[in-house]
Amino acid sequence: MPTPIDIGPRGLTAEAVVAVARHGAPVRLTAEARAALAAGRKRVEALAADTAPAYGVSTGFGALATRHIAPESRARLQTSLIRSHAAGTGEEVEREVVRALMVLRLRTLASGATGVRPGTAEALAGLLNAGITPEVHEYGSLGCSGDLAPLAHVALALTGEGRVRDAEGAVRPAAEALAAAGLEPVRLAAKEGLALINGTDGMLGMLLLALADLAELLRVADITAAMSVEALLGTDRVFAAELQALRPHPGQAAAAANMRALLADSAIVASHRGPDCTRVQDAYSLRCAPQVAGAARDTLDHARAVAERELAAVIDNPVVLEDGRVESNGNFHGAPVGYALDFLAIAVADVAAIAERRTDRMLDVARSHGLPAFLADDPGVDSGHMIAQYTQAGIVAELKRLAAPASVDSIPSSAMQEDHVSLGWSAARKLRRALAGLRSVLAVELITAARALDLRAPLSPAPATAAVRDAVRARVPGPGPDRHLAPEIAAAADLIAEGAVTAAARTVTPLR
C-alpha cells in the first residue's frame, strides 16, 4: 500500500498528486485542515443567515446571479446546480485524470477558503480511498469557471447520483457503490455545490501527469538520438561541453550531457573518428538533437513553474477570506494553465518530428552510410522498417495539428456573463494525445536504431546504448526476414512507458 498523502490547508506537491492519481495512494485530512474547514464553514453559515445577498449562497449562479434565493430553497439550489452542471458527454476520461482532479479539489477544500463543511471534504477523501471513480466525460469544460462539468460529475457521485467505476473497474450506480464501500451520500448545504465544481483541477491534474510523462520521454529521446547517431556513423564531437556552453540554455546542456554519456566508449563512433573520415558535418537531425530536446526541457521547466504556482493556489468563487469577508474573483480562469499546456504540445510535436527524420535517414541507402535499404533482410523481397516510418510520419502530422493552441480560442457562454473562456481542459486533452503519439514515434526510432546497431557488427555500440539495445532484444528480436511489425512497435512503446529504456541506460551511466 502506498504511503498515505496528507492533505493540509497549504497545498500539495506534484509528486503527491501523481501518487494519488496514478498509483492509488490513499489520502487523509490533517488536523490543521479540519480546523481550517470548520472556521471557513462558520463564516459561510453567518453569511447565509444575513439578509444581504451573497453570490452562490443566497443567489443563483452565472447569468442568474441576480436572483435571490429564499433560505428554504438553498439546499435545493446546490443540488440543482450539481445535477444541471453534470452535463458532460463523449468518451469516458481516464481514471488517473479523474483521481487527479478529485485530489486537487480536495486540496482546495482543505484550505478552508471555500466554506464547505469538514464532513463534505471527508466524504471526497472517502471516495478516493475506496477507489471509486465517478464517470467524467471528454466534453463539458470550457476552462472557465474552472472545469465545471467534469467536477460536477464527481460532486454528483458524492451525493449518491450518477454512475461510477468501483475499485475493480466495474460500472455501478453511485448509490450502490457508496453503500458497498460503507460511505454515506452527502446532502449538500449552502455554497457546497459551488465549492465542489469551481476550479481548474482537471486541467491542472492533466498538466501534472503530463510533466511526469514528458520528463521521462525527453530522456528516452536523448537515448534514441544517441543510438541513431551511432547507427548513422555520426560524430559525438558536436556534443562537447565547451561547444554547448557557448549557448547556455540549461535544457540543451542537460541533453548534450546525456548524449555524451550515452556515446562514451563507442567502438562505432571511434571507427570513423580519424583523419581519413571525409564527412565534415552531420545532418541537423543528429547534430542539433540537444538543441531541440533541450528547448523542450526548458519549456517543461516553465510549465513546471506554472504548475507549482497553481498547486499553491486556492481557486473558488466566491472565496472565504481570513478576515471573514466572502469575495467574488476571477481566479478560476484557466489561462495560465492553458498556455502552459499548449506550449508543451508544441515542444512534443517538434521532438517527435526530429526523431522521425533520424529514422528516415537510417532507412535510406543514399544517407545511411552502408546500411541495407530500409534495414531489410533481403531488400525487395523484404520491406524492413519502411512502413514503420510511414507510421511515424502519420503521427507527426497529427502532432502538428495537436500543436495548434486551444487557449487562443474562446466561445462565450452563460448569456454572455462568461464571455471569455480559456479552453484549458481542451488543451490538456490534446496534450495527452500528443504525449501518446510521441511515445509511439520514439518506439519506432528505438527499434529501428537497435536494428541498425546490430547491422553495424562486428563494431560494437557504446556500453550504455548496448544496454538499451539488449533491453529491446528481450522483447523484440534482432534483424531477420520481415515479421509482423505492429506488436514490436507496441512492445517498444511499453518498454518506454514502463521506464525500462531509461533504466537500462542507467545501469551504465546516470541521466539528467
Which ranges in 232-280 belong to alpha helices (H)? 241-244, 250-263, 267-270
Residue ranges for the chain with pLDDT beneath 70 = 51-56, 58-66, 274-280
> Do 318 and 327 contact (CB within 8 A), yes or no?
yes
Residues 452-459: contacts with CB under 8 Å, at least 24 apart:
452/227, 452/228, 452/231, 452/232, 452/362, 452/368, 452/371, 452/375, 453/227, 453/230, 453/231, 453/268, 454/478, 454/479, 455/371, 455/372, 455/375, 455/479, 456/230, 456/231, 456/268, 459/267, 459/268, 459/271
Residue 310: the pLDDT is 95
- List the catalytic residue out of 55, 284, 339, 390: 55
**In this predicted model, what pLDDT tens digit does every residue of 190-217 receive, in sequence order?**
889 999 999 999 999 999 999 999 999 9
CB 136 within 8 A of CB 92: yes
Q: Which three cell numbers stand for residue 32?
A: 490543521
Q: Are 326 and 115 in contact (CB under 8 A)?
A: yes
Radius of gyration of the chain (CA): 26
Q: Report how far apart the first and last C-alpha atoms of the chain are (Å, whole number).
A: 29
Fold classified for 206-506:
Fumarase C; Chain A, domain 2 (1.20.200)
> Is 55 part of the annotated catalytic residue set?
yes
Quote the CA–CA distance of 436 and 209 in Å, as a whole number. 12
User: Model pTM?
Assistant: 0.94
Q: Quick one: pLDDT at residue 66?
A: 65
Please state, as a whole number, how many other Cβ atoms lie within 10 Å of the Cβ of residue 13. Answer: 12
Whether cis (ω within 30° of 0) applies to the bond prior to 145 is: yes
Cell 483541477: give the residue.
201
| Residues above pLDDT 90, as percent of the chain | 81
Count Cβ atoms within 10 A of the Cβ of residue 308 and give its class: 0-12 exposed, 13-18 middle, 19 or more buried.
Answer: middle
38-91 pLDDT, tens digit each: 999 998 888 777 766 666 676 666 656 667 777 777 778 889 999 999 999 999
What CATH number does the domain located at 5-198 have? 1.10.275.10
Q: Which pLDDT score, from 0 to 100, does residue 60 have?
A: 63
| Ranges for all domains in the chain classified under CATH 1.20.200.10 | 206-506
Continuous H helices in 69-168: 74-85, 95-109, 118-129, 148-158
* Distance (Å, whole) CA 207 – CA 251: 19
Amino acid symbol at 230 = E
Measured from the Cβ of residue 3, the count of other Cβ atoms closer than 10 Å reads 9
